[in-house]
């Protein structure tokens, strides 16, 4: 399923009928307990699971994303957070879409793991549609596919703060415990949150809207079990979407 491991001959035979999945991540701080590529690992893991069920093909992911914002990712001042300008990200995605289309790809799923990417991926798709005909493209973010029913269970005891601040918090930490436990510094998992969370953006960021740890919520409520549950349910939701929107068959 991983396009990068295919030969060109294997790719050729697959690209034309498969749903082509582009995971979109970032290189961004995720607290003292998670590695900088959480936003790559999570959507790539989902992409692999989905591809396995719908005969999909997974492209090499977007590994550097759009600029982290304070209230959704801690912002640019954390060491490590390394981002692209909006125009760079847009053209990066556009060029990948254009060349994949040239090879016969017509069904695209942009599976996002980094909130700030969405608008610039949308722009890439819009520019792409000026050139490409007979394509269908879906952009989705994994957390928006978490069933509403599951939320109370996941956030029991902690309270649901909204998805915005679920950065390096319960769900991301749980998924990392499930997908890549060797990368989680379990002894460094903490609860944290901003002194205040304004409903507007401030530039340059004020210190009081950013937790010093980079953890935007209560990571100690995370668990491998929660990770497994999210994984299973979100994968199912995405598979359902893919089948519905692309008429993809199950494997």
91 counts as catalytic: no
Tell me the window of 1-9, 46-54, 150-158, 216-224 that interacts with a second copy (CB under 8 A).
1-9
Query: Cβ atoms within 10 A of the Cβ of 245, count?
Result: 15
CB 62 within 8 A of CB 22: yes
Query: Which of 6, 224 has the CB closer to a second copy?
Result: 6
CB 14 within 8 A of CB 21: no
Nearest Cα neighbor of 128 from 95, 106, 154 is 95
**Dist CA 208 CA 70 (whole Å):** 10
Catalytic residue among 30, 33, 166, 192: 30
Question: Binding to a second copy by residue 32, rule CB under 8 A?
Answer: yes
Query: Which of 158, 241 has the CB closer to a second copy?
Result: 241
Minimum distance from CB of 223 to a second copy (Å)?
20
Question: Binding to a second copy by residue 23, rule CB under 8 A?
Answer: no
Question: Binding to a second copy by residue 190, rule CB under 8 A?
Answer: no
Q: Which tokens hold the place of 4? A: 């990068």
Query: At which residue do the structure tokens 């995605």 appear?
Result: 93
Report 50-69 residues binding a second copy (CB under 8 A): 59-61, 63-64, 66-67, 69
Nearest Cα neighbor of 168 from 11, 25, 20, 28 is 28
Minimum distance from CB of 243 to a second copy (Å)?
13
Minimum distance from CB of 92 to a second copy (Å)?
6
Catalytic residue among 33, 166, 167, 192: 167
39 counts as catalytic: yes
30 counts as catalytic: yes
The burial of 40, by beta-carbon neighbours within 10 Å (0-12 exposed, 13-18 middle, 19 or more buried), is given as buried
114 counts as catalytic: yes
Q: Which residues pair with 112 in a beta bridge?
A: 24, 141
116 counts as catalytic: yes
Given 18, 23, 35, 189, the residue binding a second copy (CB under 8 A): 35
- Chain centroid, CA 118 distance in Å: 10
Question: Binding to a second copy by residue 227, rule CB under 8 A?
Answer: no
28 counts as catalytic: yes
Question: Binding to a second copy by residue 219, rule CB under 8 A?
Answer: no
4 counts as catalytic: no
Minimum distance from CB of 155 to a second copy (Å)?
18
Minimum distance from CB of 89 to a second copy (Å)?
9
Q: Which tokens hold the place of 156? A: 């029991």
Report 75-134 residues binding a second copy (CB under 8 A): 76, 78-88, 90-92, 95-96, 99-100, 102-104, 116, 118-120, 122-123, 125-127, 129
Q: Is 11 helix (H, G, I), strand (E, B) or coil?
A: helix
* Sequence-distant (≥ 6) Cβ neighbours of residue 97 within 8 angstroms: 22, 108, 124, 125, 128, 132, 137
Q: Which tokens hold the place of 138? A: 């879906």
Q: Provide the annotated active-site residues.
A: 28, 30, 39, 114, 116, 167, 172
């Amino acid at each position: 399923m991983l396009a990068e491991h295919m030969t060109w001959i294997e790719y050729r035979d697959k690209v034309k009928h498969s749903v082509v999945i582009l995971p979109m991540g970032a290189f961004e701080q995720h607290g003292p307990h998670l590695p900088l590529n959480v936003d790559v690992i999570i959507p790539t893991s989902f992409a692999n699971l989905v591809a396995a069920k719908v005969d999909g093909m997974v492209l090499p992911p977007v590994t550097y994303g759009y600029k982290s914002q304070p209230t959704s990712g801690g912002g640019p001042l954390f060491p490590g957070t390394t981002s692209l300008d909006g125009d760079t990200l847009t053209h990066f995605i556009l060029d990948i879409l254009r060349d994949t289309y040239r090879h016969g790809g017509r069904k695209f799923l942009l599976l996002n793991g980094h909130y700030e990417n969405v608008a610039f991926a949308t722009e890439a798709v819009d520019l792409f549609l000026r050139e490409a005909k007979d394509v269908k493209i879906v952009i989705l973010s994994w957390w928006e596919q978490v069933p509403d029913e599951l939320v109370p269970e996941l956030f029991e005891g902690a309270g649901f703060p909204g998805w915005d601040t679920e950065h390096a918090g319960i769900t991301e930490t749980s998924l990392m415990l499930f997908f890549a436990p060797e990368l989680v510094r379990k002894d460094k998992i903490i609860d944290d949150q901003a002194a205040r969370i304004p409903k507007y953006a401030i530039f340059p960021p004020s210190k009081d809207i950013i937790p010093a740890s980079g953890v935007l919520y209560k990571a100690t409520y995370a668990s491998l079990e929660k990770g497994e549950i999210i994984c299973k349910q979100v994968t199912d939701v995405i598979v359902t979407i893919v089948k519905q929107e692309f008429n993809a068959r199950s494997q």
